[in-house]
Structure 1
Amino acid sequence: MNFTRNAKAQWKGSGKEGKGTLSTESTVLDNTPYAFNTRFEDEKGTNPEELIGAAHAGCFSMQLSFLLGEEGFTPTTLDVAAKVAFKDGEIVKVTLDLVGDVPEIKEEEFKKIAHKAKEVCPVSKLLKAEVVLNASLS
């Protein structure tokens, strides 16, 4: 399966006083505002780190569900919380906290499959991936 998903950001103004919007092809985000205050302070709004956390938690839980299915298990619930740690100008760690309700599985097997899901999850891989930049001026 091959596909491309699209998202865009627009920023106006300086880093601290400026404001931006984020939009996705699906329009789940549609000119959603973000700013210095929503990223580095407690103002309500989104920020890149929480979006990475949501993407990672969502991708990981779906990947885990597929891997469990391959082993004959169907999860009732997989709750995944992602904590994205930002320190000194960079994302240094993502912690995934998983609580699963999977009938008939033993904890050791669940943990083994979960660790495999962490390794093969596309977003986990992305966080180690090459980043390509195409830049131009208008």
Structure 2
Amino acid sequence: MTLIASRPAPRAAEAGAAFATPTIIHLSTALLLSALIQVPWQSIAPAAASWGLIGLCGVVYALVVVRRMRRQTAYQPEFEDWLCHGVLPLAAYAILAISAFATPFHSREALFGVGAAALLLLFIGIHNAWDSTSYHVFSSGRDTKE
């Protein structure tokens, strides 16, 4: 965000809620999942409950982000934006929630699901951070009239 040369337009706040904040959430969630998986739990049930709750909250948050993307007017999202800010995060959080429910029956596979979700959230966060930075670098010098 420090790369923005001029003060952002007032509409940029609604775009930030749709594009910037979710990037931080996804990266933080990947870090949290990595920490949770390292805790020496007495059984897998508390860990599964933790990542299941994170997954369910993430599904709700991903749907809120999609709604924010639709409502903001500062930027017209393209296919890649819908994919990386909407579809893939929703899939990652859904995998996380489903893995929690599968844990009692398929613990090994559930742990692979948690790993896949964490890795997907990490890649989404990296992609979106790079995409956002690139957008600001290349669009900050343009004449942006409202």
Q: TM-score, normalised by structure 1?
A: 0.29
Higher relative contact order (CA 8 A, sep 6+): 2
Higher helix residue share: 2
Higher strand residue share: 1
